[in-house]
Chains A and B, each alone.
Chain A
Amino acid sequence: MVEYTDSDWNWDFYKELVDDVEENKNIIQCISCGKCVGDCPATKVSNFNIRKIIRKVLRGDMSVLKDSDIWYCYLCERCKRVCPKDNINIPLLIINLRNESFKKGYGPRYNDLRKYVEMSEKFLTNGTVLEDPLEGGLPPERIEELNEICNFARIKYVFKASKNKTKEKKKKKS
C-alpha cells in the first residue's frame, strides 16, 4: 500500500466528487474494516481493492482515476450490502470515479469500449441491447425519443463509431 505523508492530504478531490454526487460524502464514514474487500468478487480475481480506492480518494490522490482497477468492479452491490455503515454506496462511487476518469481523458481501454458498439447500435436503432424482443423492436418514431434522450451521451459516440465502421466495410466491398 502507498504510504502517504501529512502533506499529501487534501480534500479537493473528495469535495469535487461530493459536488458531483452528494451521496459520496458518506465515504468519510469508512472505518476500513475490509468487509467489502473480503466479500468482493472482483478482488478474488483481480487487483481491485475498494479499501485502497477509498483511501486514495480520502487522501486526495487523483492517480486513482488513471488506475485500471476502477474498471474491474462487478457492480454487484455486495459491498453496499455488507458494509456496516448505513449509507456508503460504493458502486455509485465507482461509477462516479469512472465518469471522472472519462472526463479527464483516461477512460477505459479503447478495446473495452468496442465491446459496446453492437449493443449501442441495437439500443439506438431498436430499443434493445440484443436481438429484437419477442414482440419486435420499438416503432421508428419511438426510437427517435431514445436518440433525443441520449444526445451528447458517450453511447452516441460509440454508435457513430459503429456507423463509420460499417461505411468503411461497404467501401472496401465496393
Chain B
Amino acid sequence: MESFNLVLNLDEIERQYPENSLDYFKDKKLCLFKACLEKYFPGVRWGIQDLLEELQLNISMCVNQSCCSGTFFQRNLITRAQFSAINERNLNEMNQVAEIVLFSCNGCYNSLLRGREFLKIPEVKKKTNKILNRLKKKGIGQNYPHKYDILENLNLKLLHDLDFLYLIRNDVLNSLKFDLKDLKVAIHYGCHYLNLSRDKRNVEDYIRNKTKLDELVTLFGGIPVDYQERESCCGWGASQLLINPKEALKITFNKLKSAESVGADFLVTPCPTCLYTLSKPEYRDKMYKWYGDKLDIPTIHLNELLAMLRGCEEERCITLRRKTPRLDEIFEIITRE
C-alpha cells in the first residue's frame, strides 16, 4: 500500500504556492469531519465553516460518516481490525465527496491516522479485509452499499484545523474584525496533537516545541504565556476522567492553576475533548470541592476564538451551556470596537 501516510504535505504546498497557500485549496473539495463534541460546542464547527464559506472554498459534510470510534478502541471494546474497518468505512465515504478532510478534534485526527497505520500489519489488514468483505456479502441484499474496500491508492488527505489555519494565516488575519488586544493566552495543544508526528531520526523534529498555535495567537494580537503545565494532559486521558475522576481532575486542576498563576486570561486549545475537560462547570465544581481552589479561567477552542475575532454572533461562537462571567468578559473585551 502506497498511501499509508494520509497527512497532507504542508511543506510541499508552501513550496508550490509561496505567495498564497490558500490557492492550493481553491479547486479542491473539502470535507469537515463531524466530531461528536460539536453538538456540545457548535462554535467549534461554525468557527471554521463560516470562515471557509467566506473564503469561497468548496466544502461539504459527509452524512454517512460515523464517529471515529477511538473511545472504544482505547478501552479495548473493539479490536484493532474492527477499529481499522470503521476507519476504512469512513475513509471510503469521505473519499466520495472530498479530496481533503479537515479535523477540529485531535482525537478524531489521531484515530484516522492510527487506523491506517494498523493496516501496515499484515494480520490486521487481513482481518480488516475480512470484516469489510462480510459487509459486501450482506450487501447483496438491499441494505449495504457494497463498496467498502481498503483503498490502496487513496488520494484523500487529512488535515488538522490548526495546521490548515496556520498555513493560510494571512488570509485568516485579513478576515478578522477584532484582535486579541494583548490578552494573555495560555496555549494547550492537547496530547494527540503535541505528541504526534515526531521523527526521532530527525533531531530537530523530535526535540523542538510545536509553536503554530502560539504563532497564531501572536498574529491575532494576543500574548502567549509560558506556564509550567503547558505540555501536560488536560486530564481526560482516554476516558480516565470518567473512571478515576479524582485522580484525573487533579491533572486538570494543576493545568488550570498553572495557567492562572502566570496571569493568563484564558486557555486556547485546538481540541474539543480538551475543551470539554478544561471547561465543564461540573468538573470545576468538583475541583473546588476536592482541591479547595475555585478556578474560573475560561477555555476556548481555536475555532470558537476565530469566530469571536471575526465578529460572529455570540451564540455562533460559544455555546451558552458554559457561559460564565469570565468568559463573557473575554468576549466583551475581544469584540469591543
Contacts and interface: CB of A to CB of B under 8 A. Distances in A.
Contacts, number: 152
Nearest to B45: A134
Interface in A78-99: 78, 80-81, 84, 86, 95, 98-99
A6 interface: no
Interface in B72-93: 72-79, 82, 85-86, 89
Contact of A77 (B39, B76, B192): B192
B58 interface: no
Contact of A75 (B38, B121, B238, B247): B238
A16 interface: no
Contacts of A142: 64, 66
Contacts of B69: 123
Given A134-B34, A149-B135, A76 B64 contact: no
Given A149-B85, A150-B78, A153-B77, A139 B64 contact: yes
Q: Which of B36, B85, B238 has most A Cβ within 10 Å?
A: B36
B72 A80 contact: no
B95 interface: no
A81 B198 contact: yes
B191 interface: yes
B237 A74 contact: yes
Interface residues of B, number: 58
A151 B135 CA distance: 11
Given A45-B250, A115-B243, A135-B61, A149 B77 contact: no
B253 to A, nearest CB: 10
A64 interface: no
B247 A46 contact: yes
B295 interface: no
A120 B244 contact: no
B75 A116 contact: yes
16 contacts: A41-B233, A72-B247, A73-B238, A76-B237, A78-B231, A80-B195, A95-B76, A108-B75, A116-B77, A123-B67, A133-B39, A134-B45, A139-B64, A145-B144, A146-B66, A154-B78
Given A77-B195, A135-B61, A150-B78, 16 more contacts: A22-B121, A41-B232, A41-B235, A45-B247, A45-B250, A74-B248, A75-B237, A76-B233, A78-B231, A78-B233, A80-B195, A115-B242, A123-B66, A133-B36, A133-B38, A149-B135
